[in-house]
Amino acid sequence: MNKNKKLGCLSLLLLSPLTMAMQPMDDQSLSATTGQDGLTIGVQANVQFNQMAIIDNDGLSYTGYTAPSYANRAGLVIAGVAGQSTTAPVKVSGLNGSTETILGFKATIDTDAGTASTGGAFANIGLALDSNITGLRISPFSIYTASPTSLSNMSGGTYTRNSIFSSGTLLKSDVKELLRVGGIDIVFGSNKPSMNIQLGAAPQGRMVLFDGAIESICGSGTGCNILLVSDYAAAGNSTTTPVGASFDFKLTGNNGNPFGLKGFYAGIYGSAGTTDKGGVVFGNAGTTDKFDLQLNNVLLGTSGSQKTGTFNNLPNASIGNIGMTGASITNLQMKVSGM
């Protein structure tokens, strides 16, 4: 895709109820707040959406293709799992133990003039989760590709909303399911994850620094299923069993120790040469805590089925489990640069 163009569209399509409530303050609290150096804001939110899309308006930047042309509008869409007759929105909830709860966090905001050595003034925003939040739960979702006829559009000042589904989560003919992800539970350590954001100058050395720890991601049972979708048991029919490559993902801290986030960072970097126009960077400084990673029940195709005459008529089955124990990463850095 053309790195020199603007991102075509980042939109929340058919936004389902997204509610945010500021925590009320009584007269005594307001009186105590007056004259403080900074500002503390408490937010509680129910996060839910039907479709979220990243839309590329001009396709691939490579010009070597003559017929057909691949410079057409298309998009990646995150939405509920395909094949349901009723809408299945994507939800992000807080966890209190094993129980879902409203997602709440606190933002502590302050500003400082800085010094000559730190590069000047900056705003500091510390984000922390409410004390009752022990984890996060993301409901099952899929990632799709879609053509222009199934994407929302902004033309001039007119926004036209569209959907990748004909009804419920039944796919339109020009939409392809790429990846299906089962529900994800992220369980925090006693030192809950937090982040500190600095805008303007950044005396901390990075725009965003993370802290806290995670006990597990998909830590229950064999993990949460991730499926690269090739087709369905009945070709093209998303209401039938999906076919593809799948595994159950599970990540935990090593030897019962939470996986620490201290040292991880994120930010925006500038142009680096003629081909890299800058973008977003995420990584860690130094060596991470040790972790255990499992890919369980690795399967190609559909369990129990086979194509006549292949592999001596043996049915498909899991090829086993793959994993790492006590692994760590040193000086990880990932960059996402323009589209």
Q: What are the helix (H) ranges across 161-242?
A: none
Rounded to whole angstroms, how far apart are CA atoms 251 and 219?
6
Q: Is the pLDDT of residue 35 over 60?
A: no
Contact between 266 and 284 (Cβ < 8 Å): no
Is residue 3 assigned to a domain? no
Is residue 330 assigned to a domain? yes
Contact between 96 and 118 (Cβ < 8 Å): no
Is residue 151 assigned to a domain? yes
The closest of 110, 173, 118 to 145, measured between CA atoms, is 173
Q: Specify the 3-state DSSP secondary structure of 71.
A: coil
Q: How far is CA 68 from CA 64, 74, 184, 275, in A?
A: 10, 15, 39, 26
Mean pLDDT of the chain: 84
Better-predicted residue by pLDDT, 313 or 24: 313
Contact between 252 and 220 (Cβ < 8 Å): no
Domain total in the chain? 1
What's 313's DSSP letter?
A: G
Contact between 91 and 109 (Cβ < 8 Å): no
Is residue 4 assigned to a domain? no
Q: What's the alpha-carbon Rg for the chain, to the nearest Å?
A: 23
Domain that holds residue 310: 9-30+38-337
C-beta neighbour count of 169 within 10 angstroms: 25
pLDDT tens sequence across 262-311? 999 999 888 877 777 788 999 999 999 999 999 999 988 777 777 666 66
Rounded to whole angstroms, how far apart are CA atoms 134 and 127?
15
Q: Is the pLDDT of residue 6 over 60?
A: no
Candidate ranges 46-50, 152-156, 163-167, 175-179; pick with highest mean pLDDT: 175-179
Helix (H) or strand (E) holding 30: helix 27-33
**Strand 74-79 with 51-56, pairing:** antiparallel
